[in-house]
Chain A
Amino acid sequence: GENVEQHPSTLSVQEGDSAVIKCTYSDSASNYFPWYKQELGKRPQLIIDIRSNVGEKKDQRIAVTLNKTAKHFSLHITETQPEDSAVYFCAASIGETSGSRLTFGEGTQLTVNP
Chain B
Amino acid sequence: ETGVTQSPTHLIKTRGQQVTLRCSSQSGHNTVSWYQQALGQGPQFIFQYYREEENGRGNFPPRFSGLQFPNYSSELNVNALELDDSALYLCASSLQYGELFFGEGSRLTVL
Contacts and interface: CB of A to CB of B under 8 A. Distances in A.
B86 to A, nearest CB: 16
Interface residues of B, number: 26
Contacts of B31: 99
A36 to B, nearest CB: 8
A49 B31 CA distance: 20
Contacts of B104: 42-43
B41 A101 contact: no
22 contacts: A4-B42, A6-B42, A43-B102, A43-B103, A43-B105, A89-B43, A91-B42, A97-B98, A98-B97, A98-B98, A98-B100, A99-B94, A99-B96, A99-B97, A101-B33, A101-B48, A101-B56, A101-B58, A102-B43, A104-B42, A105-B42, A107-B41
A100 B90 CA distance: 16
What DSSP secondary structure best describes chain A's contact surface?
Answer: loop
Given A101-B58, A107-B42, A44 B102 contact: yes
Contacts of B96: 99
A34 B99 CA distance: 10
Given A43-B105, A45-B102, A101-B33, A96 B97 contact: yes
